[in-house]
């Protein structure tokens, strides 16, 4: 008698499911590589690198220019200020302070003397009054207009300090009564204040021949030293112009 064979189906717990059958398709054992397009996005091309480099270079140049401009402003260079006499090739600047602006540079042409908000030129040569005024206007200035006692003191003290042989010297100022005798006026149209005038004793003489004012300076000169003389007299001169501040 032939023996019978018995088959039993055995199921294992937690066993992975059998792979799905796909006709004619073999499933890979490893995940597929990324597509060529995706790989290209991750790897920048040489054109992209060139563009980034150009932008970085442009940024660096812009920062350098901004730094140079800032440094030039900080040093207070006077090259940009052209309001003062063009005949002066060099400038002299001093650093001061203004309450509303902080640090302020004040510039005068080289050879001119700075006081408060003005620049002063003291001539070595001599001219008559008319030529003196023309010489001053040719340097974008005018014969000095003295508005205060402190300005008068500055001019007087500067001349006394710098002139070695000071016996008698006259310096034209911008005051004249050529238009009408006894009616004194300043060249810049500043109102003439007779009570604040600094004439020498018994001056002005108001002679028809003496129509131009000078500062008459001698060794023991005091602050009241204005005098009227003939305008044709050749003496020294003092020019004044506004200082440039920024």
- DSSP, collapsed to helix, strand or coil, labels residue 131 as helix
Structure-block tokens of residue 76? 């207070």
CA distance 202 to 132: 26
Residue 176: CB partners within 8 Å, gap ≥ 6?
129, 184, 185, 187, 211, 212, 213, 231
Q: What is the pLDDT of residues 149-181, one digit of tens each?
A: 999 999 999 988 876 665 678 999 999 999 888
- Give whichever of 65-79, 129-143, 219-233 has the largest mean pLDDT: 129-143
**Distance separating alpha carbons of residues 237 and 143, to the nearest angstrom:** 7
Task: Read off the pLDDT band of 81 (50, 70, 90).
Answer: very low
Please indicate whether residue 83 or residue 166 has the higher confidence score (pLDDT): 166
pLDDT at 100: 57
Mean pLDDT value across residues 222-231: 92
pLDDT in tens, 189-203: 999 999 899 999 999
Contacts of 201 (CB under 8 A, 6+ apart): 224
- Give the range among 161-165, 182-186, 236-240 with minimum mean pLDDT: 161-165
Q: Do residues 198 and 225 make contact, with C-beta atoms less than 8 angstroms apart?
A: yes
Is the Cβ–Cβ distance between 105 and 82 less than 8 Å?
A: no
CATH architecture of 119-239: Roll (3.10)
* All structural domains of the chain with their residue ranges: 119-239
Cβ burial 88-102 (10 Å sphere, 16+ → b, else e): beebbbeeeeeeeee
Q: Tell me, what's the pLDDT at 212?
A: 97
């Amino acid at each position: 008698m032939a023996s019978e064979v018995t088959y039993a189906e055995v199921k294992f717990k937690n066993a992975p499911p059998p792979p799905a059958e796909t006709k004619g398709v073999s499933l890979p054992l490893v995940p597929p590589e990324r597509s060529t397009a995706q790989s290209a996005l991750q790897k920048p091309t040489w054109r992209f690198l060139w563009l980034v480099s150009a932008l970085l270079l442009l940024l660096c140049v812009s920062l350098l220019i901004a730094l140079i401009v800032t440094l030039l402003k900080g040093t207070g260079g006077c090259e940009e200020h052209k309001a003062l006499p063009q005949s002066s090739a060099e400038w002299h600047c001093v650093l001061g302070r203004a309450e509303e602006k902080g640090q302020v540079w004040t510039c005068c042409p080289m050879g001119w003397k700075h006081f408060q908000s003005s620049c002063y030129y003291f001539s070595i040569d001599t001219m008559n009054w008319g030529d003196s005024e023309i010489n001053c206007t040719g340097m974008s200035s005018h014969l000095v207009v003295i508005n205060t006692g402190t300005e008068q003191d500055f001019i007087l003290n500067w001349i006394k300090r710098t002139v070695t042989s000071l016996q008698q010297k006259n310096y034209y100022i911008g005051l004249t009564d050529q238009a009408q005798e006894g009616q004194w006026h300043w060249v810049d149209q500043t109102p003439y204040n007779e009570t604040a005038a600094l004439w020498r004793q018994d001056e002005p003489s108001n002679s028809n021949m003496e129509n131009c004012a000078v500062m008459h300076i001698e060794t023991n000169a005091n602050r009241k030293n204005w005098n009227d003389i003939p305008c044709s007299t050749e003496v020294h001169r003092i020019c004044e112009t506004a200082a440039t501040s920024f």
